[in-house]
Structures are given as C-alpha cells and as structure tokens.
Chains A and B, each alone.
Chain A
Amino acid sequence: MKKAHVYAIPAIGAALIAVLAQISLPIGPVPFTLQNFAIGLIATVFRPREAVLSAGLYLLLGAIGLPVFAGGGAGFQALVGPTAGYLWFYLVYSGLTSSLTNSKSGVVKIFLANLLGDALVFVGGILSLHFLAGMAFEKALVVGVLPFIIPDLGKLLAISFISRPLLQRLKNQAYFTN
C-alpha cells in the first residue's frame, strides 16, 4: 500500500466512528446509541493497524473538543472521568477483534470476536469505576456491567449480521484488494 493510503484509511475510519456514534435508534424510552456498535463494526471491517488507529484517533477527536462521543459528549473529562475505562478499552476491543476476523470471516466468528472485545471494554469500565470513582470491584460490576449486557449482546448480533453484507459489497474496494 502506498504511503498516503496508510494515513487516509484510519482518518476516514475515525470520522466514520464519530458519525455512526451520533446515530441513535429510538428503542423504548431510552435512546440506544451506537458508539460501541460503530467501534465493533470498524474493528470487524478493517485490519488491526487501521482499526486501532481509527479508535485512537476517535478518542483524540473527542478529547480536543469535537462532540463525537455518545450523546454529544466531548472534552478531556471523558478520558479521565469515571467512565474513561470504557473509552480507553475501545483500543483493546478494536485491536483484538480485528486480529481475530478478516474479510472472509463467517457470522459466528465475527460474533465471538466482538463478544470477546466487548467483554474487555467492560473490564476497562470496571477498572475506571473502581480507581477513579472509588467503587468496590463488586459494586462496579453491578452498576457498570450487568445493566448493559443485554443491550450489548443485541449490538453484537447487529454487528455480526450487518458485517457480512457490508464486507460482501466492499470486497472490490482498493483497500480490500491491495
């Protein structure tokens, strides 16, 4: 791949995450944001290097003030507050999931890879709730993980079933043929 391409892909990937994170589906009374859905989709579609760079650039975009985090959040407080662990572990999620999948992976493999990545995001959430908000680990688990398991499983299923047709249609793109 040529030099400039190496930088253009992650930049557009970060912008994609930022845009997708703003879409919210009105499911029930609570808006269902797609922030980690977007991370998972990028992790599934891109290769490891581009996926991790996209996630990292996304965090930087939010840090410097663009309202790109879920719900229009922005600023450095998102990266040092009690929920910062979720955001930082998106780097781990994107790296791990993109390492385990490729453009020919089946639905089951995509689901399992995203499940593993998403579980690590919860680990990050527990860590930041414990160290930055002063919660005991058990309490952090109860309030920071359990309520989100069902919705996140739904997102993982959505990622798995959307990725297949997405990868099929994109296979002629220069990124996948190089």
Chain B
Amino acid sequence: MDSMILGRYIPGDSIVHRLDPRSKLLAMMLLILIVFWANNPLTNLILFIATGIFIALSGVSLSFFIQGLKSMFFLIAFTTIFQLFFISNGNVLFEFSFVRITDYALQQAGIIFCRFVLIIFFSTLLTLTTMPLSLASAVEALLAPLKRVKVPVHEIGLMLSMSLRFVPTLMDDTTRIMNAQKARGVDFGEGSIVQKVKAMIPILIPLFATSLKRADSLAIAMEARGYQGGKGRSQYRQLKWTLKDTLTILVILVLGCCLFFLKS
C-alpha cells in the first residue's frame, strides 16, 4: 500500500524537489495555461526546451515521464490521427480513397500532439517531485483567497487530508473483505455477468458499513480532542516560501510573456 500513500512520488534531493509545493503547483498551473498559447512551431520548440531543462533539474529519470505518456498513448494517438484525417482546410498532400491529408491538418495534428505531451510532462513533473500530502497543503494554501467569497478553505484542506489518510486503509479493508469472502466460498472470477455483479454485494455492504462506522468514530475522536472548526487553529506543517520559489515563478512568467508575443 505504500505506493498508494506516496502516489507517484520519487524521492530525491534535486532543486525541484526542494521547492515549496505552492510554487510548484502554481508553476504547473501557469505552464498549462501557457501551453494553450503555443500554436506554432517556434512556440512549441521553446516550450519543449524549457520543459527539458525543468526535467533535467529534477534529476528524475526520463523513463518515468515516458511511462506517463504510455498511459495516455491511445488517447494521444487517437486525437492526433483524428485531427489528421478530418481537417480538410489547406493544400492536399496525400489523397487515397476516403483518406485526405492536408498541410494544415498535419500542422494542427502536430500542435495537438505537442500540447498533450507537454501537459503530461508538466503534470508528471509535479507529481513525481512532490508528496501528495504536501500538495494537499499547497492546494489549501492556493485556495486561501477564496475565503473572501465564503468558500470553506480550511475544511476542504481538512477533508482532502482525511481522504488521503483513508485511501490506503480502505484499500486494505477491501482486500481483507474479499479474502474473507473467498474463504467462505464466494467466487469473484467465475460465472455470468449477473453472477459477477451479485458477487460484488458481499464486498460492498461490509465495506460501506465499516467505512461509515470509521467516519463516525473519527468524528467523535476529533471532537473529543477539541476540534471546533477552522477558526483560531494553528498549523503544525509550515510551508516556507524562499527566493528560489520567487525566481521559479518569475522565470515562468517571462516564458509566458515570450510565448504570448511569439504566438501567431
């Protein structure tokens, strides 16, 4: 279950690992925004170079990023090919039967492909270099401005942390329940579709029952420990924003400006 707790985090001590999770989260969001401005070969090239530099600085092996691409491979291939075959603007480069490829379609397919790859790389870079619990803190911090419009930011952060804590526990519960039912003769792998669905019930009922009981117990324990809501609370985990974080955001803003002026 450690893999679930760590998400896809790869331990390391690179400059990217040591950045504040808030600056990394903010940087990733800015980069995804910037990607949608990259609509010609020059802007895409610049973004790929910048991304290559970021990946190199993280010290994480490229194979992890390739792996991230693999899980999205079908979607990328499908959408790219779709663009290629169904855009009919521009000069015809190739035509055979119902297949018709134009130079404009080729360019659009290339841009869509690059956009996909870049977004996956940014996202993968963030999740590979940051612990999920740190990211939960970062999400809460970045949502802080929404307090002014009555969004319960502390509570969202609390629920996110609680969820993070519960996922591996419920995963273990599910495994335990399935093994217990197998020991009593329930067969999950055999039979018709209807029988397989029926076999789900002995898993779901105890899982829901124990989960709701666990939530109830947790709530009682929290109140017994003095929990009264977000107001007036201190925080054990403190995030520290440093000069490196400021420079990171500035670099990305400069990158954004360049792409904004270079886009066609």
Contact = CB atoms under 8 A, between A and B. Distances in A.
Contact of B208 (A45, A75, A143): A45
A7 B127 contact: no
B8 A74 contact: yes
Taking chain B's interface residues, is the majority helix, strand, or loop, or is none over half, making it mixed? Answer: helix
A8 B211 CA distance: 10
Contacts of A92: none
Nearest to A158: B197
A19 B176 CA distance: 13
A162 B204 contact: yes
A45 B209 CA distance: 12
A19 B167 contact: yes
23 contacts: A3-B223, A3-B227, A11-B162, A19-B170, A20-B204, A57-B156, A60-B156, A60-B160, A61-B132, A61-B167, A71-B71, A75-B8, A76-B28, A76-B119, A76-B123, A133-B82, A135-B82, A154-B193, A161-B197, A165-B205, A166-B201, A173-B213, A175-B215
Interface stretch (A62-70, A93-101, A104-112, A119-127): A62-70
B167 A65 contact: no
B42 interface: no
B248 interface: no
Interface string A137-178: 001000100000000001000100110011001100111000
A41 B159 contact: no
A40 interface: no
B208 A2 contact: no
A83 B78 CA distance: 12
A61 B124 contact: no
Interface in A1-55: 2-5, 7-12, 14-16, 18-20, 22-23, 25-27, 41, 45, 53
Identify the interface centre among A65, A81, A166, A170: most chain B CB within 10 Å of its CB: A65
Contacts of A173: 209, 212-213, 216
B162 A8 contact: yes
How many chain B residues sit at the interface, stated as a range, is 35 or more
Taking chain A's interface residues, is the majority helix, strand, or loop, or is none over half, making it mixed? Answer: helix
Given A61-B160, A68-B167, A80 B216 contact: no
A18 B171 CA distance: 9
A80 B116 CA distance: 10
B32 A65 contact: no
Contacts of A11: 158-160, 162-163, 166, 215
A26 B189 contact: yes
A7 B162 contact: yes
A4 B160 contact: no
Given A75-B123, A134-B112, A139-B82, A25 B216 contact: no
A74 B108 CA distance: 27
